[in-house]
Amino acid sequence: MNILIVEDERVAARRLERLTKEILADRVTSIYCVETLNDSKKYIRNHTIDVLILDLNLHGQDGFTILKDVVSESFQTIIVSANTDRAIEAYNYGVIDFVPKPFEKVRLLKAFERLEGGTDFATKVLVVRNQGQIQIIQNDSIKYLRGAGDYAELHLQDGTVVLHNKSLEALNKILPPSFLRVHKSYIADLHRIEHVNIYGGGKYKCVFKDGTILPVSRTRYKDLISYLETGR
């Protein structure tokens, strides 16, 4: 993982760096620390990162500005902040976790477990940023998601399509279990699926209650059938 820590307190930044290395070990490819909004934006524009560890009070400036202003946001975000009154706001931005200060190693470990799918954590909304505007998409309004390179198309129940600036892989980590990766290019809301059609040659398709049809890969077929039979 390529990790960026944005923290204006040097002692806190060094501790975050040390604990992150201890927790992730050889999974860390690179880790870099900056203290200001401007430095963080410059770094993100010039480097590919997988994880952003972000404080919210950066020399009096709002850390959320990074999530609002940076165009390329394929990374996942963990907030580490004493501003616990902003936790709900943070989750509305689609962050993986909000770690309150002061924190211990075990709490940071939990955040990374969530990042890697080790818990049942899931965001309740997806936040889409488009031309400076923020749109909050409720999960229950999403019918399915389709991969579009480094982005993902959110196909909503009302027929509209919204482009999210995170990849299908990234969104798959934070969506609830009722959203299943049924194909390399599709994530489906399983509550909307009526049945699965089986064709010759190991080909499968899931049929939604409204008639929408999506392909199902061989590797995902058993997981899909198991969920439809057991509801979990």
What are the DSSP calls for 28-84, one per residue? -SEEEEE-SHHHHHHHHHHS--SEEEE-SEETTEETHHHHHH-S---SEEEEEES-G
Q: Residue 124's pLDDT is what? A: 66
Question: 58 with 162, same domain?
Answer: no
Distance CA 177, CA 172 (A): 9
- CATH number of domain containing 53: 3.40.50.2300
Closest-CA residue to 121 (of 167, 61, 173): 173
47 and 89: one domain?
Answer: yes
Instruction: Look up the pTM and report it.
Output: 0.58
d(C-alpha 15, C-alpha 105), whole Å: 10
Q: Are residues 103 and 45 in the same domain?
A: yes
Tell me which residue range forms the domain holding 148.
125-230
Q: What domain count does the chain have?
A: 2
End-of-domain residue from the set 115, 142, 170:
115
Question: Tens of pLDDT along the chain (232 residues)?
Answer: 899 999 999 999 999 999 999 999 999 999 999 999 999 989 988 988 889 999 999 999 999 888 777 644 568 899 999 998 888 788 777 788 899 999 999 999 999 887 776 444 456 677 776 665 667 788 889 999 999 988 999 999 999 999 988 889 888 877 888 899 999 999 999 999 999 999 988 899 999 999 999 999 999 998 899 888 876 5
Whether 8 and 91 map to the same domain: the answer is: yes
